[in-house]
Structure 1
């Protein structure tokens, strides 16, 4: 990566109770934020409208500052936050290491390709279809500066 690397922050929490997940999602969300939810039978696609329910198996919300990922475990959710700025997240552990980040362009697959069994959609805050080319989404690489190993690739909004 030839572009200048900037500081990044990686946070983790092993257990977030279901009633606290929505509050956490609201805390990290800013406009515009996008959601991607994974169910056992389908995926939501990239949606700007905040989900009404969070009973999905796993999901993520991302914006220009951070991406938050959650995954259902027996009694709640495991949560990972990848950020370009320091965040005050109660009861989260900051992963050790010297994290550096850089942003790159994201490339979308054609939504018509059969990569997802029920298709892949892009929707705005009014739940109307979006052209993926109209969304300025990039990828943010989180690299351990000591080893030069990329550990995480997060989605971000330009």
Structure 2
């Protein structure tokens, strides 16, 4: 499949956002939620106080990002498995490139990502990671935290860096 970067065609209500997140979640999926006064850390389940004003859900296939605008949510998807129904490509309206170039506009590269150990002093509090996610890339049997670069092929510019999960082999 080809990489896809798109925005939801409409702003979503809280209920619609929850339904979308649940629809696009695969196993394993992880969440990182942000409020003005705290972050959730990386968690395996949506908390009771979902939705947060900003956040993301990520798994092996895609990252879904949302942000509150007034009382509705704008949503961006970074997919490695092709187009996602209900989302419009962010390059769809570009008139300076042809249709075949639009289909092959994005390429991706995946690299390991590393979480900080709990004794790291860069942060005022330890970041939360679920035990099921290998954030130090040391366990061969657990899903590993990774990052996926979305690169525009015509310019070789990295436009997005998405969190992702590498399945254990």
Fold agreement, TM-score > 0.5? yes
Q: Deviations over 1:23-61 (max 9, x none)?
A: 100111000000001111111111112333323121100
Whether 1:78 and 2:74 are equivalent positions in the alignment is: yes
* Aligned-residue RMSD, C-alpha: 2.1
TM-score by length of 2: 0.78
The 3-state SS of whatever aligns with 2:39 is coil
1:66-145 equivalences in 2 (<5 Å): 66-90=62-86, 92-96=87-91, 97=102, 98-123=105-130, 132-133=135-136, 135-145=143-153
What runs of 5+ residues in structure 1 fail to find an aligned partner? 1-5
CA contact (8 A) 2:134 2:145 kept: no
CA contact (8 A) 2:18 2:51 kept: no
TM-score by length of 1: 0.83
Structure with higher Rg: it is 2
Q: Aligned pair count?
A: 148
Q: Deviations over 1:2-33 (max 9, x none)?
A: xxxx8310011261121100010011100000
Q: Deviations over 1:65-117 (max 9, x none)?
A: 00000011102111110000124322x21121501111001122233334444
Of structures 1 and 2, the one with the larger relative CO (CA 8 A, separation 6+) is 1
CA distance in 2, matches of 1:143, 1:78: 22
What runs of 5+ residues in structure 2 fail to find an aligned partner? 92-101
Whether 1:156 and 2:164 are equivalent positions in the alignment is: yes
CA contact (8 A) 2:114 2:135 kept: no
